[in-house]
């Protein structure tokens, strides 16, 4: 955005609604991310096999690996890692970002600026669009500003920015990782959500009306409406933190191969509000939170209807 100052952007983003209490015009645009500290009882730890089998791997793809720790009692699966070119999760689940998301380089930023020209510094564009930075900003905001609704997302344990290649037994070594709770496709990982509020009612009632024309049982209709309710609750909680997801998909509410939803995850193209006017929001032209929120909730409704 050009010729827009911090106060202008705050007014644009929160058009027709009040900013959250924690948002101020002088809100920090960048903070140091919380570092991950391995348990002192561990004798050693390393990244082991992929959590999900059958997924393509490569230097330019995200890898999700088990972090295996060894203590006096033997080997334990303690974390999981989602790896990108140059980030990690806990069973906890180590989430290393260095696979599906390649490292965002100056060359990537230059290409993006050619596609969408703007008088922006290359380094600023790199930091704004880097998947590792995007995801770390989201979890830092959730941890600092969200209490009980944190259960809607994987728990955040910190980041690693100097991961040594000796830690890797499988996959492609990368230096950065975001450490998150390891979510597993089992009952213990599912979340019990609060009742929805008026912000989501329109989409739920719209879906209920659309389902009436389909050959479904009452149970099936209620199941789909309940599914939409839960997903709207997760998304609306994210939006209440002035964060937009940017890539709302069925698979970002559940684990690969699992029938049940667990948490909302994968924030690699997300936008976390700061008063600094952005170059892009979710890799698109900057828009208000209300416009993006309505769009993302509408996407969830459409995806459930088309199941």
CA distances, 231 to each of 83, 133, 268, 299 (Å): 26, 25, 19, 11
Structure confidence at residue 139 as a pLDDT band (50, 70, 90): very high
Average pLDDT, the chain: 80
Residue 2: its pLDDT value, please?
67
Structure confidence at residue 224 as a pLDDT band (50, 70, 90): very high
Question: What is the reported pTM?
Answer: 0.85
Does the pLDDT value for residue 3 go beyond 70?
A: yes
Does the pLDDT value for residue 22 go beyond 70?
A: yes
Q: Mark residue 214 as left, alpha or beta (left: phi above 0; alpha: psi -120 to 50; beta: remaining).
A: beta
**Ranges 159-173, 196-210, 291-305, most confident:** 291-305
Angle of the 122-129 helix axis to the 106-115 helix axis, nearest 10: 100
b/e per residue 11-46 (b: at least 16 CB within 10 A) = eebbeeeebeeebeeebeeeeebbebebeeeeeebb
Q: Name the one residue in this structure whose structure tokens are 């203590």.
A: 71
Average pLDDT over residues 40-46: 73
Q: In what order do the strands lie in the sheet with 74-83?
A: 44-50, 63-71, 74-83
Does the pLDDT value for residue 26 go beyond 60?
A: no
Residue 128: its pLDDT value, please?
94
The 8-class DSSP code of residue 33 comes to P
The 8-class DSSP code of residue 129 comes to H
Q: Name the one residue in this structure whose structure tokens are 């990690």.
A: 88
Residue 181: its pLDDT value, please?
77
Average pLDDT over residues 20-48: 71
Average pLDDT over residues 192-220: 81
Give me the count of residues in the chain: 307
Structure confidence at residue 226 as a pLDDT band (50, 70, 90): very high
Q: Mark residue 174 as left, alpha or beta (left: phi above 0; alpha: psi -120 to 50; beta: remaining).
A: beta
Pair 247, 235: CB distance under 8 Å: no
List, for residues 64-117, the tens digit of each pLDDT value. 777 777 777 666 655 666 555 443 333 334 443 333 345 788 999 999 999 999
């Amino acid at each position: 955005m050009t010729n827009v100052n911090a106060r202008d952007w705050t007014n644009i983003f929160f058009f027709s609604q009040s900013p959250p209490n924690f948002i101020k015009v002088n809100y920090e645009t960048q903070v140091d991310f919380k570092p991950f500290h391995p348990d002192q009882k561990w004798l050693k730890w390393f990244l082991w096999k992929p959590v999900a089998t059958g997924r393509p791997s490569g230097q330019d793809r995200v890898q999700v690996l088990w972090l295996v720790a060894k203590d006096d009692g033997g080997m334990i699966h303690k974390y999981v890692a989602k790896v990108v070119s140059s980030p990690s999760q806990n069973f906890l689940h180590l989430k290393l970002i260095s696979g599906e998301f390649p490292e965002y380089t100056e060359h990537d930023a230059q290409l993006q600026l050619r596609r969408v020209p703007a008088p922006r510094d290359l380094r600023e564009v790199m930091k704004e669009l880097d998947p590792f930075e995007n995801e770390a900003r989201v979890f830092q905001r959730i941890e600092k500003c969200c209490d009980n609704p944190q259960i809607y997302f994987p728990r955040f344990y910190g980041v690693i920015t100097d991961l040594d290649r000796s830690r890797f037994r499988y996959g492609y070594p990368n230096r950065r990782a975001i450490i998150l709770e390891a979510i597993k496709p089992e009952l213990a990982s599912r979340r019990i959500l609060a009742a929805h509020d008026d912000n989501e009612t329109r989409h739920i009632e719209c879906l209920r009306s659309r389902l009436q024309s389909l050959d479904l049982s009452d149970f099936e209709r209620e199941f789909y409406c309940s599914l939409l309710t839960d997903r709207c609750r997760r998304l609306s909680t994210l939006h209440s933190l002035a964060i937009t997801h940017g890539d709302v998909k069925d698979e970002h509410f559940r684990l690969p191969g699992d029938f049940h939803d667990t948490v909302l995850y994968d924030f690699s193209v997300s936008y976390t509000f700061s008063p600094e006017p952005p170059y892009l929001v979710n890799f698109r032209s900057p828009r208000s939170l209300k416009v993006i929120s309505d769009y993302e909730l509408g996407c969830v409704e459409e995806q459930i209807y088309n199941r």
